[in-house]
Amino acid sequence: MRVPLLDLSEQYRALSKEVEAATREVLSSQRFILGPKLAEFEKAAAEYCGAPHAIGVSSGTDALLAVLMALEIGIGDAVITTDYSFFATGGCIARVGATPVFIDIDPDTYNISATALRRYIDKNCHVVEHGLVNENHQLIRALVPAHLFGLCCDMSEMLAISREHNLILIEDAAQAIGAEFPLGRAPGRAGTMGDAGCFSFYPSKNLGAAGDAGLVVCRNEQFAKRLRVCRQHGMEARYQHQFIGGNFRLDELQAAILNVKLPRLDGWSAARREAAQFYTEEFKRAGLEKNIKLPVEPYAQSGLRNHHIYHQYVIRSPRRDALREHLGKREIETAIYYPLALHEQPCFEYLGYKVGDFPAAERAARESLALPIYPEIPREAQQYVVNCIAKFFG
Ligand SMILES: Cc1ncc(COP(=O)(O)O)c(C=O)c1O
């Protein structure tokens, strides 16, 4: 049986009439940039996320970049982030000229470790009047945790640390739209707990466009205005550029498609969660817990529906590469997110990190394996995956 990592064809079949009508409408209007479809999407996305402001941008990467640029974070600044994420999380920090400071992850959740972060601050930083300065005399301007695989990181800790040290809190929520965190009485939604939240609508995401698209959400009205200017090359009045921004606009065709899909998002995320539950139960039933580490659900008892949205279902094994090969031979597609921790990337060599600096992230890079998951994945396909893994360890 062939089991793809992701199959979007069934989703498209169900939506094709609506998607095609929406795109035809845009084509007929010949309005492609900053039109009514984007305005409609921004309103709906702000409501969905529970954020006062939502600004459509051209990708998740550009969401991060626009936020950093709008904050004038750059040369001489440092920004703290996780060592284990998609490249853009760290790459954008370097792209604006700031220094990324990587922090090890929690080995269970794959998200930034609050303990490691506090340790870094205690050991390497000193407090000055307006914030924190590191051992390289750089002012630490921001903290960028990523909610990896659809699970929020410990936002109570991220908020406490950022408030304590006057850090701007930018959530990389590219993989976590709709994911919730038990934050006091009111649940916190991914992207809305910090100062800004960045989302990606890359086609494989839980909410995927038909190309590249992204979003920033924020609470502060002035900052939202600045982001809108930033996504148009820092231009407020026509051809008057207040500051340097970029072409970070989300186009009408993508917005029209996202408008069709957004109302279905919670249903898709619930279906992913059910598929994840099936995997977990079947792995346990097959006695595989001793062989593979299963995903954790730290907020499952919180009463929150979207305590995990399973953008990915990631297992871990020291025999990962052999297991992957075994599954590949049986036509089961898997993926490695990510084969290198950020400090191991050749382009970050100049930062001077070395092997062993972040053991949990390094281990995750060597051992993690993403299994096929998508809302419509058939249970027989999942059972086949479980059986093939059982045979490998058999
Ligand atoms: C954690 C994370 N951050 C940022 C991005 C960048 O998003 P995009 O691919 O839309 O530029 C992604 C997307 O893959 C991601 O997974």
**What pLDDT, on the 0 to 100 scale, is given for residue 186?**
80
Q: What is the pTM of this model?
A: 0.98
Residue recorded with tokens 């299963």: 294
Pocket test for ligand 1, best of 83, 86, 172, 215 (most atoms within 8 A of CB): 86
DSSP, collapsed to helix, strand or coil, labels residue 372 as: coil
Q: Which long-range contacts (CB under 8 A, 24 or more apart) does 256-259 make?
A: 256/22, 256/23, 256/25, 256/26, 256/37, 257/19, 257/22, 257/23, 257/209, 257/210, 258/41, 258/45, 258/201, 258/207, 258/209, 258/213, 259/22, 259/37, 259/40, 259/41, 259/44
In this prediction, residue 282 has a pLDDT band, given cuts at 50, 70 and 90, of very high
Amino acid occupying residue 21: A
Q: Measure the CA–CA gap between 321 and 380, rounded to whole angstroms.
A: 24
Average pLDDT score, the chain = 97
Q: Measure the CA–CA gap between 358 and 99, rounded to whole angstroms.
A: 17
Distance 200 CA to ligand 1 centre (A): 6
Residue recorded with tokens 């207040």: 242
Q: Measure the CA–CA gap between 184 and 195, rounded to whole angstroms.
A: 18
What are the residues facing 127 on neighbouring strands?
Answer: 132
Measured by CA distance, the residue closest to atom 10 of ligand 1 is 60
Q: Quote the longest CA-to-CA distance of the chain.
A: 67
**What pLDDT, on the 0 to 100 scale, is given for residue 323?**
98
DSSP result, 302-314: GT-TTS---S-EE
CA proximity to 86, closest of 30, 8, 146: 146
Q: Measure the CA–CA gap between 227 and 55, rounded to whole angstroms.
A: 7
**What pLDDT, on the 0 to 100 scale, is given for residue 169?**
98
> Which residues surround ligand 1 with Cβ inside 6 Å?
59-61, 85-86, 88-89, 146, 172, 174-175, 200, 202, 212, 214
**What pLDDT, on the 0 to 100 scale, is given for residue 346?**
98
Please, what sign has the CA dihedral across residues 40, 46, 47, 48? positive
DSSP, collapsed to helix, strand or coil, labels residue 12 as: helix
Secondary structure tally for the chain: helices H, strands E? 12, 13
In this prediction, residue 7 has a pLDDT band, given cuts at 50, 70 and 90, of very high
Pocket test for ligand 1, best of 95, 148, 175 (most atoms within 8 A of CB): 175
**What pLDDT, on the 0 to 100 scale, is given for residue 204?**
98
Distance 74 CA to ligand 1 centre (A): 21
Is pLDDT above 90 for 261?
Answer: yes
Q: 172-191 burial string, b = 16+ CB within 10 Å, else e?
A: bbbbbbbbbbbbeeebbbbb
Q: Which atom of ligand 1 is nearest to the CA of 202?
A: 10
DSSP, collapsed to helix, strand or coil, labels residue 217 as: strand
Residue recorded with tokens 């809302």: 375
In eight-state DSSP terms, residue 70 is H
Distance 248 CA to ligand 1 centre (A): 14
DSSP, collapsed to helix, strand or coil, labels residue 112 as: strand
CA proximity to 136, closest of 351, 344, 306, 288: 351
Average pLDDT over residues 234-262: 97
Q: Which atom of ligand 1 is nearest to the CA of 204?
A: 14
Pocket test for ligand 1, best of 152, 171, 201, 202 (most atoms within 8 A of CB): 202
Is pLDDT above 90 for 247?
Answer: yes
Distance 222 CA to ligand 1 centre (A): 25
Q: Per the structure block, which two tokens stand in for 167?
A: 């850090």
**What pLDDT, on the 0 to 100 scale, is given for residue 130?**
82
In this prediction, residue 11 has a pLDDT band, given cuts at 50, 70 and 90, of very high
185 Cβ neighbours under 8 A, 6+ residues apart: none
Our CA dihedral for 107, 108, 112, 115, rounded to 10 degrees, sits at: -80
**What does the pLDDT look like over 42-86, one tens digit per residue?**
999 999 999 999 999 999 999 999 999 999 999 999 999 999 999
In this prediction, residue 296 has a pLDDT band, given cuts at 50, 70 and 90, of very high
DSSP, collapsed to helix, strand or coil, labels residue 4 as: coil
**What does the pLDDT look like over 171-223, one tens digit per residue?**
999 999 999 999 987 889 999 999 999 999 999 999 999 999 999 999 999 99
Distance 41 CA to ligand 1 centre (A): 19
CA proximity to 50, closest of 171, 193, 170: 193
Average pLDDT over residues 230-254: 97
What are the residues facing 170 on neighbouring strands?
Answer: 196
Which ranges of the chain does DSSP label H, i.e. alpha helix? 9-29, 36-49, 60-70, 87-95, 114-124, 155-164, 221-230, 252-261, 265-285, 320-329, 359-367, 379-393
Q: Measure the CA–CA gap between 90 and 144, rounded to whole angstroms.
A: 9
**What pLDDT, on the 0 to 100 scale, is given for residue 253?**
98
Please, what sign has the CA dihedral across residues 200, 204, 207, 212? positive
**What pLDDT, on the 0 to 100 scale, is given for residue 184?**
82
**What pLDDT, on the 0 to 100 scale, is given for residue 129?**
86
The share of the chain scoring above pLDDT 70, in percent, equals 100
CA proximity to 376, closest of 220, 219, 264: 264
**What does the pLDDT look like over 129-154, one tens digit per residue?**
889 999 999 999 999 999 999 999 99
**What pLDDT, on the 0 to 100 scale, is given for residue 1?**
94
